[in-house]
Chains A and B, each alone.
Chain A
């Protein structure tokens, strides 16, 4: 019977596909030999903006209790509790389990996370920095808030399907392949790996993958109204000093102030050193201009 053989082939193909796109956690020894330093971790935490997404909605401080909603064309995601609470949060996870979530988008149970969690950026981070970050996270206050399930319809509620997304879009490697100076290289690390600036400033295709040819060239605002601005030299004519000042105080060169979600980002970049803000500005001057 020929059709039986075809069904068998199809099933084999699906199994192979699922195997090929299966969640791959970090190896057990990924953090071996690294000692996390909570003080250094506070800087990584600010640079990577974990608090902006994982604090309770509208809160500007307090535990990483989760609950903030992230609307998307695929449904609404809710940030989970990542406070050090032993059961409600991630206090009971090992360091490698937390690092696998952040750098591979894989849960301790071996499931894929949704890219609303910007692990596609964090995968570029250095393991040593993530070790510092985890040490810092463990010093933060606990919350017993329960996680809210995501509000996502079929087929996007099948986490296994995210393996294909990762294969297509969460490829390791830098967008700006050449970093001509150490300053631009540092800026690239802060923007592409930790700051996940592209998550908001780069448009996405129909599958939710970033359009890297239009890197930082602006995107529709996730709220559904208005746009997140183009911050390449094609859209932003501020000097490097003006960009660095904006990332410190939130003031534009005309003394208007940052608005919307960028206010949270500026609260984070304000905690970096002047040298790091200058590095981000140098990087933004070095990326290819996207026409407005």
Chain B
């Protein structure tokens, strides 16, 4: 037997296979698709926040065109209908990940967080091209809305 196939490697492979088989078998395609979609959506928030945050933190010189483009993307994303992402059976207990059960037990509160970010991002898009100070003032409430939804509805790291 080749030396790299020692018992530890074999155990590791077995565990990995068992893990992925478990993950694949217990989630319906509908649920895993919704989870992937919402994670991608969150990733796009982070990506577009990048240049705005770097300018707000004085790590990158202010550029009205770059700021406006990123803010317009954020506003478009935040105003998209997201109701199909948060399907039943995709909370931490059922699917792993970090979506707390409160998303489903307190749907009105969760929807209010979505609305809050949409309003803040729409406002940021309107002011992002008006100079660094205006952009910074619009940026604060956007970051705060990401944080307040994560505080209430995103669970701890696995």
List A residues at the B interface (Cβ < 8 Å).
221, 223, 225-229, 245, 249-251, 254-260, 263-264, 266
Contact = CB atoms under 8 A, between A and B. Distances in A.
A249 B139 CA distance: 11
Given A259-B98, A259-B156, 17 more contacts: A221-B156, A225-B92, A225-B156, A226-B98, A226-B157, A227-B158, A251-B53, A255-B45, A255-B50, A255-B53, A256-B46, A257-B143, A259-B154, A260-B150, A260-B154, A263-B147, A263-B148
B92 to A, nearest CB: 6
Interface string B142-158: 01001110110011111
Interface string B31-69: 000000000001001110110010001000000000000
Contact of A259 (B46, B50, B53, B150): B150
B43 to A, nearest CB: 9
Contacts of B57: 245, 249
A260 B49 contact: no
Contacts of A255: 45-47, 49-50, 53
A260 B153 CA distance: 8
A223 B156 contact: yes
Nearest to A266: B147
A21 to B, nearest CB: 34
Contacts, number: 57
Contacts of B158: 226-227
B146 A257 contact: yes
Contacts of A263: 147-148, 150-151
A258 B147 CA distance: 6
A260 B156 contact: yes
A1 to B, nearest CB: 59
Interface in B101-158: 143, 146-148, 150-151, 154-158
Q: Is the contact region of chain A dominated by helix, strand, or loop, or is it mixed?
A: loop
B102 to A, nearest CB: 11
A226 B150 contact: no
A227 B46 contact: no
A255 B57 CA distance: 12
A111 B10 CA distance: 56
A217 B59 CA distance: 30
A256 B50 CA distance: 9
Nearest to A264: B151
B53 A227 contact: no
Contacts of A264: 151
B147 A260 contact: no
Contacts of B143: 249-251, 257
A247 to B, nearest CB: 13
Contacts of A225: 92, 155-156
A250 B53 CA distance: 11
What are the 4 A-B residue pairs with the smallest beta carbon separation, nearest first? A226-B156, A259-B150, A263-B151, A221-B156
A260 B146 contact: no
25 contacts: A221-B156, A223-B155, A226-B98, A226-B157, A227-B157, A227-B158, A229-B157, A245-B57, A249-B57, A250-B147, A254-B46, A255-B49, A256-B42, A256-B46, A257-B146, A257-B147, A257-B150, A258-B147, A259-B151, A260-B154, A260-B155, A260-B156, A263-B148, A263-B150, A266-B147
A198 B25 CA distance: 39
Contacts of B50: 255
A258 B150 contact: yes
